[in-house]
Copies of this chain bind each other. A is one copy, B any other.
Amino acid sequence: MVQTVDGDGEEGAEAGMDPRNGTDNDTGRIEAFSDGVFAIAITLLVIEIGVPHVDDASLGATLFGELVEQWPSYLGYVISFLQIGVIWANHHNRFRFITRSDHILLFLNTLFLMCVAFIPFPTAVLSEYLEGTTAERTTAGVLYAGTLMLTAIFFTLLWLYVAGNRRLLDQSVDPAMVRSMTRRFILGTFFYVLAFLLAFVSLTISLILLVGLALIFILPEPSERTPTRRSQRSRVSRTR
């Protein structure tokens, strides 16, 4: 059904697209499935935070003290929640321009989601070893930043496939905007690679960079600061 209405877009009708032939318009279902994976991965993060057990209360241990000592778990929760939240928002924003799908897109999206759904694991490892030895901190940080880097890489590959030759994009999208988005993808991936490399040197700096990357998202996209330029095309994009 969702596909149906998507499929009523002008350009789809013009091209005589057939829902049954590899390049149909059912991105709505892909988005819904992806949203489910995002929502579950982000909510599963809390499971990794264990209830502390106050064993030796006689030795002065208190529930409050035990809860405070678990601060790495809360930090990991907050950072990963932000990361997944921002990745979701970006995925969501980009799929607004993707109006058709094929098997390759489905496959790349599955690999991308495989990374997203994996994030709770490196988060748990990070929380467990944030106060470990230097070697343990480095290992946990490299695993964590590496997972996010891999997520960014697969997301970029997905975009490059979709945007190459405007393969699966809404035909009405401004080519300059597509190029601008592609640049942003490559720039973003560069910073995730940087965070990965920094994790070998300093876990703290790597995490600060990763949090910064997430917070940058609050700022509107450069291309979004000049809405008037494209306002005449708003009708088309809205009926997408």
Chain A interfacial positions (CB closer than 8 Å to B) = 1-8, 12-13, 16-23, 25-26, 28-29, 31-33, 35-49, 51-52, 54, 57, 62-64, 67, 77-78, 81-82, 85-86, 88-89, 92, 96, 102-104, 106-107, 110, 113-114, 117-118, 120-121, 124-125, 128-129, 132-133, 135-136, 139-140, 143, 177, 217-221, 223-227, 230-235, 237-240
Q: A2-B28, A19-B238, A20-B224 are in contact. List 15 more A-B contacts (CB 8 A).
A: A1-B6, A3-B96, A3-B240, A5-B5, A20-B237, A22-B225, A42-B117, A43-B117, A51-B128, A54-B132, A63-B139, A77-B118, A81-B113, A89-B103, A103-B219
CA A110 to CA B114, docked complex, whole Å: 22
| Residues in B neighbouring A133, C-beta threshold 8 A | 57
Given known contacts A6-B1, A132-B63, A32 and B32 CB-to-CB distance under 8 angstroms: yes
Q: Closest CB of chain B to A41's CB: distance in Å?
A: 5
B139, A67: Cβ atoms under 8 Å?
yes
B77, A139: Cβ atoms under 8 Å?
no
Given known contacts A139-B62, A230-B18, A96 and B26 CB-to-CB distance under 8 angstroms: yes
A140, B63: Cβ atoms under 8 Å?
yes
A139, B20: Cβ atoms under 8 Å?
no
CA A81 to CA B107, docked complex, whole Å: 11
A46, B121: Cβ atoms under 8 Å?
yes
A117, B218: Cβ atoms under 8 Å?
no
CB < 8 Å neighbour of A46 from B118, B231, B234: B118
CA A54 to CA B137, docked complex, whole Å: 13
CB < 8 Å neighbour of A238 from B7, B39, B67, B128: B7
A110, B82: Cβ atoms under 8 Å?
yes
CA A156 to CA B223, docked complex, whole Å: 30
Listed by A's residue number, 5 A-B pairs whose Cβ atoms lie within 8 Å are: A4-B240, A18-B233, A33-B38, A63-B125, A102-B220
